[in-house]
Chain A
Amino acid sequence: MSRTVRKVLRETAGGRDAERVALKLEIKVEAIDYDKEGSVLRIRGKNTLENEHVKIGQFHTLELELQRPFVLRKKIWDSLALDVLRQASDPGASADLAVVLMQEGLANILLVGKSMTSTRSRIETSIPRKHGPAIAGYESALKKFFENVLQAFLKHVDFNVVRCAVIASPGFTKEQFHRHLMLEAERRQLRPIIENKSRIILVHTSSGYKHSLREVLDAPNVMSMIKDTKAAQEVRALKDFFNMLSNDPARACYGPKHVEIAHERMAVQTLLITDDLFRNSDVITRQKYVSLVNSVKNSGGTAHIFSSMHVSGEQLAQLTGIAAILRFPLPDLEDIEM
């Protein structure tokens, strides 16, 4: 329920009249639309509260924006939902990190938030690699590329919001870009960059593609900045899972069936699950997963809920969305069909 504006039709003597009326409406949620870029949540549903202008059962779409108060009613509040609410309302843990992942000819600018990673910009150019007389072409193409990245950087990275900016690349591209950044900042007197020089970190990764974000979050100097955030924990947990899978494959499993079987045998030590599985509209499955998580926690294990909008969450989602590290090896899981 929230304040909203509704276009209301009124019959008057002269004809129909449409008027926008500000109302307080409560709707039963049917569909949700989230606009990442605009930070707007649109909720569509049927009206449930009696109102002079809007009948019960009529459809309406509520737009929830920042700084607008609203009331959220739910029939059953399970532990996970409460957890999420608590986390969301915690102002302190907003560790935003701006990451520029680049390689020669490709740059991705990402904002790593508390619960999600969003791509702000992607720049791709082709940089020639000729030798001899045309070497000048290479230099100028590279300069143009850096210029574009710089523009995007200025536009999307707001140092008031992010804690620090990370420039990551294989090879020497990051140093080159950093140099370019500093020079241009001096030349054009770009205040935000000059003031926050110390908040720019350089990290080595193996490529400029988005999945290298994992390596960025793993780097020790970045890790120290964000170690209390969810993103870092998720990355670590997933890394552990992969390590286990390569060292001792019988102690790691993924897929709902396998994990369930493992759980029945009380073998699950760490459970990795994406929150996509909780958004499942089927209440029964949702409850099943909730109970799974709870029972794992009760039996002394740990459960990590991955936000599917982060890099590691996406990766886990590719792997069916649920995985587990086991206490003891279960080799016969191999033979059971997934």
Chain B
Amino acid sequence: MPRKVNYGLDYDDDYDDNYDEYDYRYEVDENAETPSQKETIKHSVWRCSICTYDNDETMSSCDICGVLHGPLLNNSIYDKKRTANIFDLKSSRVSSTVVGRDEAVKVSSMRSDSSNLSTEKGKHNRLDEINILKNIEVGPPAGSRTSDNCSASVPEGWLDHVDESSVAVNLRSSVKRSLSLMPKERNVMVDDSSSSRNGGEANSLTSNLENISFAAKSGHSNDANPGRANSRAQYKPEKWMLPEKAEHSLTQLNLAIVGHVDSGKSTLSGRLLHLLGRISQKEMHKYEKEAKLQGKGSFAYAWALDESAEERERGITMTVAVAYFDSKRYHVVVLDSPGHKDFVPNMITGATQADASILVIDASIGSFEAGMDGTKGQTREHAQLIRSFGVDQLIVAVNKMDAVDYSKERFDLIISQLGTFLCSCGFKDSSVSWIPLSAVENQNLVSAPSNFRLSWYHGPNLLDAIDSFQPPTREFSKPLIMPICDVIKSPSQGQVSACGKLEAGAVRSGSKVLVMPSATIATVRSLELDSQACPIGRAGDNIAVSLNGIDGNHVMAGGVLCHPDFPIAFAKHLELKVLVLDGATPILIGSQLEFHIHHAKEAARVARISSLLDSKTGKVAKKAPRCILAKQSAVVEVILQEAICVEEFSKCKALGRVFLRTLGRTVAVGIVTRIVEEQ
């Protein structure tokens, strides 16, 4: 018997704390940085004589071209604490440059145009080359580095320049080894003792666990071989990417509708769309008529979302349906998921885009219990999955209240049972709202209930509850990342459209994007949001991007669209930190599982179980255990059959969450801590 250990705080909480740990530190730093960055910009500026860029007064060298302003300042050298994550550069042109390094950097050599940077290999200290600079539209600071001629204490081979606004680059003396510049180097505890440091470096990652990755770019913009990009911090978003401040327009909210099979998810969504005017009366009549013809009259509303013949015939949802409507505060994107056990992979694909969620429960006698069943019911599994997606705001819609005559007792019973479970998953009581409703009789959906039997309920209706969600944070200022959910090819026009939700950054027509995993560059022809063309897509938007200049076979679901300078890693061998769910079979070395991450899925094999972690503290409890049992968390290494696009969780949350399933059940949820080997 597995030992029953009382964990006190439930494992999930601690797990989330670990998640939160990442979030928290990261976000705090981000927040701390950005305001100061904004502030510093308001200080007096000096104009660089070479590139005429207005630099902050306190910066000693020009942001763009690296020309020194005034006397050389004594930058301290930063000792970088390197963590062990070192990866091989795909384009390891860096190595050649690194080895031939010379300490004394001439100031003149600092002034390099971006185009020169990359091509001159013989340059020393040309971390500039390494810092990819070329596409000036993004304008990251060219490796402006004040190299320290005066820094006497430079150890052999150590290069430290921390440019005020750049990232600290470290090279070890072991540069003799061929690759010391590895992408994803994490560390950067920069010692902030230099007087020249200022808030201007705010956007440098130095205070974060960010990585500094370099790649010797050869200055070709259409280089189909993306070298490892520069650090994220150097990415400066353009003005059009950030949303206008004083916008009264509605923000986007992606809402996933999940729940056990037949709980009424599609019907609820259909009803909402109809009530809010998204579906015309004529269409509704059509659906009703056709549904009755097929003998599925009660599914009329669900047909608004289940459009394929298979789904209608069987009366189920098989793939995630996307629909749009507007509430008072949000543009809501509804992601109606399948509830069937076999289609959980599809539900994962859909829910990965969610910011908030509605868990639909069937209140009828027997159905609720069936849904709550550990092995056959999907209520639990969906709730756990939703929580692992980082969704912390939840509405529990107790549907089909008409079948139990709107009884308060039943409602309270459901709250008590499900409430404890949700708590154990990690949902905070304050962020869960409970709404009794009936989709079929239109009670409590968009207006207060008219049925007197529901009069004991005084809370908000569904639409108000949706409005009461907190707006999610969006990463506007990061480079573009859009996981591809769906690909539509129109052979007639020879164009390819990729659909998905933008996780970070922004895109507009004409911008160049890099399609991973095929690593080809394409141009954006047009964007479409809610079947209407839109000029700009920002983080959080669920859009369809039409691409030019790429073959349809190169774009597939599970890939990622990213900024050409900041490619996403592509790997087979990953290290994960996982938490094994309740009731799952133990995981041993060699277990074959299905690996789900954003929209991609692959068969995977557990290669090694590195260590078992203590659920409470997160510290290593045991090295190389034999197996991982339910409710334990561990660090494991998996090898996939085919490589997929992935990012570490700390860098991009959406691309770092993984789910392991086998035999039709979700066995473990986890995050990617490290990419062991890149393709």
Contact = CB atoms under 8 A, between A and B. Distances in A.
A170 B342 contact: yes
Given A176-B310, A206-B664, A249 B603 contact: no
A170 B487 contact: no
Interface in A148-165: none
Interface residues of B, number: 47
B296 interface: no
A207 B588 contact: no
B589 interface: yes
Contact of B557 (A126, A318, A319): A126
Nearest to A141: B489
B663 A206 contact: yes
A209 B594 contact: yes
Contacts of B320: 129
Interface string A219-251: 000000000000000000000001001111100
A126 B487 contact: yes
Contacts of A139: 308-309
A210 B486 contact: no
A139 B310 CA distance: 10
Contacts of B284: none
Interface string A275-316: 000000000000000000000000000000000000000011
A252 B645 CA distance: 37
B603 A210 contact: yes
Contacts, number: 98
Interface stretch (B36-44, B124-132, B369-377, B624-632): B624-632
A147 interface: no
B322 A206 contact: no
B22 interface: no
Contacts of A320: 589
Contacts of B663: 206, 215
A135 B309 CA distance: 10
A211 B342 contact: no
A57 interface: no
With most chain A CB atoms within 10 A of its CB, the pick from B556, B603, B626 is B626
Of the candidates B305, B605, B665, the one having the most CB atoms from chain A within 10 angstroms of its own CB is: B605
Contacts of B629: 246, 249
B314 interface: yes
B592 interface: yes
Interface string B306-324: 0111100010001111100
A242 B603 CA distance: 20
A73 interface: no
Given A245-B586, A319-B588, A209 B603 contact: yes
B322 A249 contact: no
Given A138-B308, A170-B664, A245 B627 contact: yes
A130 interface: yes
A126 B308 contact: no
B340 A171 contact: yes
A173 B641 CA distance: 22
B662 interface: yes
A330 to B, nearest CB: 12
B319, B346, B588 — most chain A CB neighbours (10 Å): B588
A69 to B, nearest CB: 40
A211 B487 contact: no
B594 A171 contact: no
A246 B586 contact: yes
B590 interface: yes
B343 interface: yes
A317 interface: yes
Contacts of A206: 342, 661-665
B590 A171 contact: no
B585 A171 contact: no
Interface in A111-155: 126, 128-132, 134-135, 137-139
A328 interface: no
Nearest to A317: B590
Given A172-B310, A176-B310, A318 B488 contact: no
A158 B308 CA distance: 35
Nearest to B664: A206
B432 interface: no
B343 to A, nearest CB: 6
Contacts of B346: 129
A334 interface: yes
A320 B608 CA distance: 12
Interface of B: 1-2, 305, 307-310, 314, 318-322, 340, 342-343, 345-346, 486-490, 499, 531, 556-557, 585-586, 588-592, 594, 603, 605, 624, 626-627, 629, 641, 661-665
A-B pairs with lowest CB-CB distance, top 4: A318-B590, A206-B664, A211-B592, A209-B603
